[in-house]
Structure 1
Amino acid sequence: MPSSPSRRGFIAAGSGLAAATALSGCSALASADSGPDTLIVHTQLGTTAPGSATYTAAVKAFHEENPGLRVKNLVNGDDLPQVYETSRLARKEPDVVMVNLYDKTLAWTEVGATVDVKGYLDDWGLRERVLPEALDEWTDGKGRLRAFPYFATNWPVAYNTALLDRAGVGSVPTTGDQLIGAARRLRAKGIQPVTVGGNDWTGQKLLAQIVQTFLTREEARQVYTDGDFSGSRGAREGIDYFVSLRDAGVFADKAQGLTSDTMTTQYNTQKAAVQSAMSSALAKVPAKTAAHTTVGGWPLAPGAAHDRPTILRSYTLIGFWISPNGVKKLPAVEKFLRFMYRPDVVSRFVTESGRDMALVTDTVSGDFPLVAEAQRLGDRVGQVLLPDLYVPPTATQPLITATSTAFTRGTSAATVRSALESAYRTA
């Protein structure tokens, strides 16, 4: 695990967030003075995020079953971590935070911005509700459980078989050579091959997946912890493989400037034949496109460290974090989390929103066929490491900048390695 910033470092970083407070944090600061029967929940569910409508309905049901308690939601998007940190610095933070384990949030429990919830999980009898893999990912290097796990995600590769057929590609590619051949045929028909947000986190994740082609999970963990992409033979070979695919035209035109929104639009409107798509994106694929989509893994090169095409999988998409203010309202927090962990509530997120869960459930996403198909991939695919838990938080955004460099056609493998390593030196 990367070393976490000190408490002083957290406070110093937060001092630069005054603008965020003025724009979007005022409600958070004001609301934290509420009484013990009002639970303040800071969440990303309430925007367009999949699961928002189900969450709103669940809160309504919670109110009906607990007339003496009220949940007040504060909603933010990608800026939630900054807004929360600002409110925490003023000691007026919300009681519960619903956000993923990534970038800034990696340090929260270490610096006291949130509390270790392992004891509460056990005291409230909820441990058996959580998948063991999720507990592992949410537990830090000192044995602290950062949050109550909730959402997970599969991250396979979606292939539009109708477009592949139109281009004369007989089957879903499983090797790099097959992928290059498919890209040439697709381009000849005016179809973009692999669409990817090369200018944001989606491209960062796909690049990391391809870099790991020749790395074991342990080797990948080391590389993404220390950022030494040149000192690892496997990392060098993975970057060489990425560059060979890129310069053969596998990725969509000008991929280095595309975003996740562009990527999903190109795939959903059948302008591109392939995308690396987490389950929340799979849930949004229109029925017309989904009818011609199959999901699988990323094609491998000869000599790969894996024997099957690979996917990403993570159990850290959203968890329930308890703040120091939340500790003062533990009875209310316990009732809320027990409710959210109930099998019937968990099942609603699966059936109504197509969410993958970090909790034990037998419910299948019947109305979201691609999500369900991804859940059934099993041993037909291999799994590589999602590096988010190991990348130092200060390197996260520089790595996205480096990703855009990597997706720029003609950029040498040596330049890609240098850009990735510079992200860590900047950190």
Structure 2
Amino acid sequence: MHSPLTRRGFLAAGSGLAAATVLPGLSGCSALTGADSDPHTLVVHSQLGTTAPGSPTYLAALDRFRAENPGLKVKNLINGDDLAQVYETSRLARKEPDVVMVNLYDKTLAWTDVGATVDVKGYLDDWGLRERVRPEALGAWTDAKGRLRAFPYFATNWPIAYNRALLDRAGVDAIPTTGDELIAAARKLRAKGIAPVTVGGNDWTGQKLLAQIIQTFLTEDEARHAYSTGDFGSRGAREGIDYFVTLRDAGVFADKAQGLTSDSMTTQFNTEAAAIESAMSSALAKVPAKVAEHTEVGGWPLAGGAAHDKPTILRTYTLIGFWISPNGTKKIDAVEKFVRFMYRPDTVSRFIEESGRDMALHSDAVSTRFPLVAAAQRLGSRVSQVLLPDVYVPPAAAQPLITATSTSFTRGTSAAKVRAALETAYRSA
């Protein structure tokens, strides 16, 4: 499907982005002052640096990099979920940072295509870094035209976390592996006043779990078609939606899940108000030690006739990459030093060991301080992997899908209405 973020669309994208290029009153905002024309100053724009998982390790890495390169200054710009829009604003003013650290999702899917960032494949090979990257990561970051959008860096496993102690308290003898077992476990948990599956039904966490459940009856190719086109009318997609609705109306998900967020989800699980959550690596790393001691990780339970033979998990290699901007190509020697440093085995191992991050690069390091992250890394063939739809969903449909997710998690919404909500999200794409 053609991306709506064409060059013309990029100029009009976001709230007032086009105006930012002509209104002098905006010239002092951080979005427009990120670039530094000094060839001895590298400007990096990242989501790391505050409370984001891995921030302390990243800031320490910057300190080491500065110490090893005394003639090169590094300016670190930090934004959260608004990073993509802030970057686009600065790019429109031709004052964008040199390197951007962000995931491949929504707005960023179109950046290389519209010239907001550059194809880095040639740099990867010229700098001899291809062998450092997992082949799956290279595939995920490469677009349909063969361009490598960014240097892959963070990855994540996304299993299901089960609080074994809460399940035991409710009389659930084993981790559920089928839908029937999950429904039975939910009833027992509710009888003890414990929420079964907590999920951010009003944000991206709910969207991912919904996509995972729908794929119960889909092959990878069928899932790719559904999430690329918005066509959820195939037999497998309809069966997956039916399965989700059956679980939802049986009380599997926490009360009012349609209004919960990722923050409320992790709070419920980490305070043991809920027994089960779909948790990516960064969430697993935050589970308190006393809770982690009696928590197991596994996959999402299957229904009869599923396209998979084992409970499912999500996995992605597109969580954070190093994108190079047009400004960055003017300081490519400094960019090369930075990327090489971040790709070094000792730097990569620190993110794994100190922050519990999964990486898109080869490493022998293990997340020993984060037992649930390490356990997820060892799941291997005990689970089946389904498709993370992020790189296939058209940017214009990404946010509407969140709205459709909240509708889907509202109890009583029929399977037909869930399907209609999902397909409606694609109408503007």
Once the two structures are TM-superposed, the CA of residue 9 in structure 1 deviates from its matched residue by 1.2
Pairs within 5 Å for 1:352-363 = 352-363=354-365
Of 172, 185, 192, the residue aligned with 1:169 is: 172
What displacement does 1:29 show? 1.7
Is the aligned partner of 1:99 residue 2:138?
A: no
Q: Equivalent residue of 1:424, what SS?
A: coil
Counterpart of 2:426 in 1: which secondary structure? helix
**Equivalent position of 2:83 in the other structure:** 80
The one-letter code of the counterpart of 2:318 is T
Q: In the alignment, what sits opposite 1:280?
A: 282
1:144 counterpart = 2:147: yes
SS at match of 1:73: strand
| Aligned 8 A contact 2:4 2:396 in 1 | no
Find the aligned partners of 1:84 and 1:23 in 2 and give their Cα distance: 14
Q: Look up the match of 1:391.
A: 393
1:17 is the counterpart of 2:20: no
- Could you tell me whether the CA contact under 8 Å between 2:17 and 2:92 is conserved in 1? no
Give yes or no for contact 2:243–2:303 (8 Å, CA) kept in 1.
yes
Structure 2 counterpart of 1:97, which letter? V
Who is 1:201 aligned against? 204
Instruction: Tell me the amino acid that sits aligned with residue 82 of structure 2.
Output: D
In structure 2, the CA distance between the partners of 1:422 and 1:63, relative to structure 1 (3 Å rule), is same
Is residue 177–residue 311 contact of structure 2 (8 Å, CA) maintained in 1? Answer: yes
- The answer (yes or no) to whether the contact 2:5–2:13 under 8 Å persists in 1 is no
- Out of 32-41 and 350-359, give the one that drifted further: 32-41
Query: Is contact 2:269–2:277 with CA below 8 Å preserved after alignment?
Result: yes
Which secondary structure does the structure 2 equivalent of 1:362 belong to?
coil
Distance of aligned partners of 1:89 and 1:14 in 2 relative to their CA distance in 1, 3 Å threshold: farther
CA distances 1:53-78 after superposition (whole Å, capped 9, x unpaired)? 00000000001111001111000000
TM-score with structure 1 length normalisation? 0.98
AA of the residue aligned to 2:252: V
Distance of 1:53 and 1:24 partners within structure 2: 31
Give 5+ residue unaligned stretches, structure 1.
none
Taking the aligned partners of 2:202 and 2:15, their CA distance within structure 1 comes to 28
Equivalent residues of 1:208, 1:387 under 8 A apart: yes
Cα deviation for residue 13 of structure 1 reads 1.4
Say whether 1:313 aligns with 2:315.
Answer: yes
CA contact (8 A) 1:2 1:225 kept: no
| C-alpha deviation, 1:426, in angstroms | 3.3
Q: CA deviation at 1:4?
A: 5.5
Structure 2 vs 1, CA of residues 15 and 170 (structure 1 numbering), >3 Å: closer, same or farther?
closer
> Matches of 2:14 and 2:389 in 1, distance apart?
25
> Which of 320, 325, 330 matches 2:327?
325
Q: In the alignment, which residue of structure 1 is the partner of 2:415?
A: 413
Tell me, in whole angstroms, the C-alpha distance in 2 between the residues paired with 1:2 and 1:185: 48
What is residue 305 of structure 2 aligned with on the other side?
303
CA distance in 1, matches of 2:127, 2:356: 27
Deviates more, 1:18-27 or 1:66-75: 18-27
Matched residues in 2 for 1:261 and 1:245: separation?
Answer: 23
Listed as ranges, the matches of 1:239-254 within 5 Å are: 239-254=241-256
Which digits, 9 at most, give the CA deviation of each residue in 1:116-156, with x for residues without a partner?
00000000000000000000000000000000000000000
**1:380 is the counterpart of 2:385:** no
Query: What is the distance in 1 between the residues matched to 2:33 and 2:282?
Result: 33
**Paired amino acid for 1:345:** T
Correspondence for 2:189: 186
Within 2, Cα distance between the matches of 1:178 and 1:299?
Answer: 8
2:410 is aligned with what amino acid? Answer: T
Contact 1:20 1:83 in 2 (8 A): no
Counterpart in the other structure of 1:8: 8
- Following TM superposition, by how much is the alpha carbon of 1:8 offset from its aligned partner in structure 2, in angstroms? 1.2
Matched, 1:27 2:12: no
Q: What fraction of aligned residue pairs are identical, expressed as a percent?
A: 81
One-letter amino acid matched to 1:162 = A
Give the 3 Å change call, closer, same or farther, for CA 134–405 of structure 1 in structure 2.
Answer: same
State the alpha-carbon separation in 2 of the partners of residues 75 and 19 from structure 1: 23
Counterparts in 2 of 1:216-255, with a 5 A limit?
A: 216-230=219-233, 232-255=234-257
Deviation at 1:11, TM superposition (A): 1.0
| Whole-angstrom distance in 2 between the partners of 1:20 and 1:246 | 45
Change (3 A) 1:271 1:243: same
How far is 1:23 from its partner?
Answer: 8.5
Q: Structure 2: how far apart are the matches of 1:3 and 1:9?
A: 9
Report deviation, 1:33.
3.2
Structure 2 residue 113 is matched with structure 1 residue 115? no
Deviations, residues 372-398 of structure 1 (Å, cap 9, x unaligned): 000000000000000001100000000
| Counterpart secondary structure, 1:425 | coil
Cα separation, 2, equivalents of 1:24 and 1:201:
33
Q: Distance in 2 between matches of 1:125 and 1:4?
A: 35
Q: Deviations over 1:89-119 (max 9, x none)?
A: 0011000000000000000000000000000
Say if 1:20 and 1:82, in contact at 8 Å, map to a contact too: no
Whole-angstrom CA distance in 2 between matches of 1:279 and 1:2: 32
- 8 Å CA contact 2:26, 2:32 repeated in 1: no
- Tell whether 2:291 aligns with 1:289: yes
| Alignment check: 8 A CA contact 2:27 2:33 kept | no
Compute the displacement of 1:32 (Å): 1.1
Quick check: 1:191–1:272 contact (8 Å CA) kept in 2? yes
CA RMSD in angstroms comes to 1.5
Which runs of at least 4 in structure 1 moved beyond 6 Å after TM superposition? 18-25
Indicate conservation of the 8 Å contact 1:25/1:86, yes or no. Answer: no
Change (3 A) 1:2 1:313: farther
Tell me the distance in 2 between the aligned counterparts of 1:273 and 1:250.
Answer: 11
Number of residue pairs matched by the alignment: 426
2-structure distance, mates of 1:202, 1:267: 14
What runs of 5+ residues in structure 2 fail to find an aligned partner?
Answer: none
1:158 to 136, 156, 161: 161
8 A Cα contact 1:199 1:400, kept in partner: yes
- Structure 2 vs 1, CA of residues 23 and 415 (structure 1 numbering), >3 Å: closer, same or farther? farther
CA 1:174–1:15 in structure 2 vs 1: closer, same or farther (change >3 Å)? closer
